[in-house]
C-alpha cells in the first residue's frame, strides 16, 4: 500500500472529507501518494486539514459551483470518493428530507458535474449495509435482495441507482462500497460512543436498547480505507458493488462486554452491570453481516481484530476526553 516511486500522482476528491471515515481516508490516501482535496461542511483550519492529508479544503456542499471552484481544469482528477451524505438512521428518521438532500441530491449534482466536466473520473460511492434491510440471515452477498426500510437505507440505494443510471447512459465509471459497522478513533456517535460516554460519567449500570442479540459486522476504519482505495480501480460503467466488512457477525452484547472489559482494564475499576431494554429501534435490522467473498477476490482482507480494535477505540475515547477537559 505504499506509494510507488515514479508512479504518476493520483488526484482524489473526497466529499465529506471532514467526517469520521473521510478523515481517515484522506490521511490514508495522502500517505499512499495521492493528492487529496476535500469538500464538505465545517470550518477546518488549514494546518489541521493538512495533518489529515488534505491539501485543499472547501467548506460547502457538493454543488456544481463548489466543484467548478475546486477544479477549474479537471483533467487531473482521477477519483472522487463520495462520502458526503446522511450519517445515521436516527437522523434520517428525524429529518428525512434533509437526509435526502445530503445523500441523494449531492450524488445527482456530483454525477451531473462529472458527466459535463470530467467524464473520465472514477467514482467510489460509499453506501451502507442498510440497503439490504431486514430479513437476512448469515452473510449477505452483494446480489441479495435489497429491501431498505429506513429513509437512510432508501437514500443510500438511490445514491447507488444514480451511479448506475449515469454508468448505463453516459459511461461514467463508478463502484459502490457498502460499509457495515465501521468503528475507530474519531467515531463520536452510535453504540460505542454511547457506551463510552456513559462509562465516562461513572454509571453503575448500563442499559442498552434491543435484545443484545442483534448481529453486526464490525470493521475497523483502517481496514475500510484500504478497501476504498482498492475499489477505485474497480470503477466501471456497470457499477459493481462490494461489501466492506469482516464476514464475522458479533452480537451487540459481546461488543458491549468487550468495551466494558477494555474500559475496566484501563482504570482497574469494576465494570457496571450490563442489561438490555428489549426494545428494538425503528429501522434496525436484526442481522447485518457481510459476505466478503467479492472483496476477497481483490486480495483485500480485514486485518484488525475486534477485541484489539475496541481496546484502541476505548484508549482513543479516554484520550479525547482528557484533551477536552
Contact residue for a copy of itself among 57, 71, 100, 242 (CB under 8 A)? 100
Minimum distance between the CB of residue 147 and a copy of itself, rounded to whole angstroms? 9
Taking CB under 8 A as the rule, does residue 284 contact a copy of itself?
no
Q: How far is the CB of 195 from a copy of itself (least distance, A)?
A: 26
CB of 106 within 8 A of CB of 126? no
Nearer to a copy of itself, 108 or 315 (CB): 108
Choose one: 20-28, 29-37, 97-105, 292-300; the region binding a copy of itself (CB under 8 A). 97-105
Query: Cβ closer to a copy of itself: 149 or 316?
Result: 149
Question: Is 108 a residue that touches a copy of itself (CB under 8 A)?
Answer: yes
| Stretch of 24-32, 78-86, 118-126, 151-159 lying at the interface with a copy of itself (CB under 8 A) | 151-159
Q: Residue 154 interacts with a copy of itself (CB under 8 A)?
A: yes
Asked if 58 is part of the footprint of a copy of itself (rule: CB under 8 A), the reply reads: no
Cα–Cα distance measured from residue 11 to residue 314, given in angstroms and rounded to the nearest whole number: 34
Round the CA-based radius of gyration of the chain to a whole number and report it. 20
Instruction: Kindly tell me which residue out of 139, 184, 272, 283 binds a copy of itself, with binding defined by CB under 8 A.
Output: 283
Stretch that binds a copy of itself, among 11-19, 25-33, 99-107, 265-273 (CB under 8 A): 99-107
Residue 169 vs 188, nearer CB to a copy of itself: 169
C-alpha cell, 133: 434491510
Binding to a copy of itself by residue 144, rule CB under 8 A? Answer: no
Tell whether residue 162 is a contact of a copy of itself (CB under 8 A): yes
Contact status: 97 vs a copy of itself (CB under 8 A): yes
Stretch in the footprint of a copy of itself (CB under 8 A) among 24-32, 70-78, 103-111, 310-318: 103-111
| 90 binding a copy of itself? (CB under 8 A) | no
Residue 268's φ and ψ, nearest 5 degrees, are 65, 5
State the SS3 of the chain: CCCCCCCCCCEEEEECCCCHHHHHHHHHHHHCCCEEEEEECCCCCHHHHHHCCCCEEEECCCCHHHHHHHCCCCCCCCEEEECCCCCCHHHHHHCHHHHHHHHHHHHHHHHHHHHHHCCCCEEEEEEEHHHCECCCCCEECCCCCCECCCHHHHHHHHHHHHHHHHHHHHCCEEEEEEECEEECCCCCCHHHHHHHHHHHCCCCEEEECCCCCCEECEEEHHHHHHHHHHHHHHCECCCCEEEECCCCCEEHHHHHHHHHHHHHHHHCCCCCEEEECCCCCCCCCCEEEECCHHHHCCCCCCCCCHHHHHHHHHHHHHHHHHHHC
The site that binds a copy of itself (CB under 8 A) totals a number of residues, namely 29
Q: According to the binding rule CB under 8 A, does residue 10 interact with a copy of itself? A: no
| Residue 289 makes contact with a copy of itself by CB under 8 A | no
Binding residues (CB under 8 A) for a copy of itself: these are 93, 96-97, 100, 104-105, 108-109, 111-112, 115, 148-151, 154-155, 157-158, 161-162, 164-166, 168-170, 282-283
Amino acid at each position: 500500500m505504499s506509494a510507488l516511486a515514479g508512479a504518476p500522482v493520483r488526484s482524489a476528491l473526497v466529499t465529506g472529507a471532514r467526517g469520521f471515515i473521510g478523515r481517515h481516508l484522506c490521511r490514508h490516501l495522502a500517505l499512499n501518494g495521492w493528492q487529496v482535496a476535500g469538500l464538505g461542511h465545517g470550518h477546518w483550519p488549514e494546518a489541521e486539514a493538512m495533518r489529515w492529508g488534505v491539501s485543499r479544503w472547501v467548506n460547502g456542499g457538493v454543488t456544481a459551483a463548489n466543484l467548478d471552484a475546486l477544479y477549474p481544469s479537471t483533467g487531473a482528477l482521477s477519483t472522487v470518493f463520495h462520502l458526503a451524505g446522511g450519517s445515521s438512521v436516527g437522523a434520517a428518521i428525524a429529518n428525512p428530507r434533509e437526509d435526502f438532500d445530503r445523500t441523494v441530491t449531492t450524488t445527482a449534482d456530483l454525477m451531473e458535474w462529472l458527466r459535463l466536466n470530467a467524464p473520465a473520473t472514477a467514482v467510489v460511492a460509499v453506501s451502507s449495509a442498510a440497503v439490504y434491510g431486514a430479513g437476512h440471515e448469515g452473510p449477505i452477498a452483494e446480489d441479495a435482495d435489497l429491501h431498505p426500510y429506513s429513509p437512510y437505507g432508501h437514500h443510500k440505494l438511490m445514491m447507488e441507482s444514480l451511479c448506475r443510471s449515469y454508468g448505463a447512459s453516459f459511461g461514467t465509471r463508478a463502484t459502490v462500497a457498502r460499509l457495515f459497522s465501521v468503528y475507530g478513533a474519531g467515531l463520536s456517535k452510535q453504540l460505542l460512543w454511547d457506551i463510552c460516554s456513559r462509562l465516562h460519567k461513572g454509571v453503575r449500570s448500563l442499559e442498552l436498547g434491543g435484545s443484545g442479540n442483534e448481529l453486526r459486522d464490525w470493521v475497523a476504519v483502517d481496514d475500510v480505507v484500504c478497501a476504498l482505495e482498492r475499489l477505485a480501480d474497480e470503477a466501471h460503467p456497470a457499477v459493481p458493488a462490494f461489501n466492506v466488512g469482516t464476514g464475522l457477525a458479533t452480537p451487540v452484547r459481546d461488543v458491549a462486554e468487550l468495551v466494558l472489559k477494555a474500559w475496566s482494564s484501563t482504570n482497574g475499576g469494576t465494570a457496571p452491570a450490563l442489561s438490555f431494554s428489549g426494545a428494538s429501534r425503528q429501522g434496525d435490522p436484526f442481522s447485518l453481516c457481510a459476505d466478503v467473498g467479492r472483496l476477497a477476490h481483490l486480495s483485500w482482507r480485514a486485518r484488525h481484530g475486534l477485541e484489539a480494535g475496541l481496546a484502541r477505540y476505548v484508549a482513543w475515547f479516554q484520550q479525547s476526553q482528557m484533551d477536552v477537559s
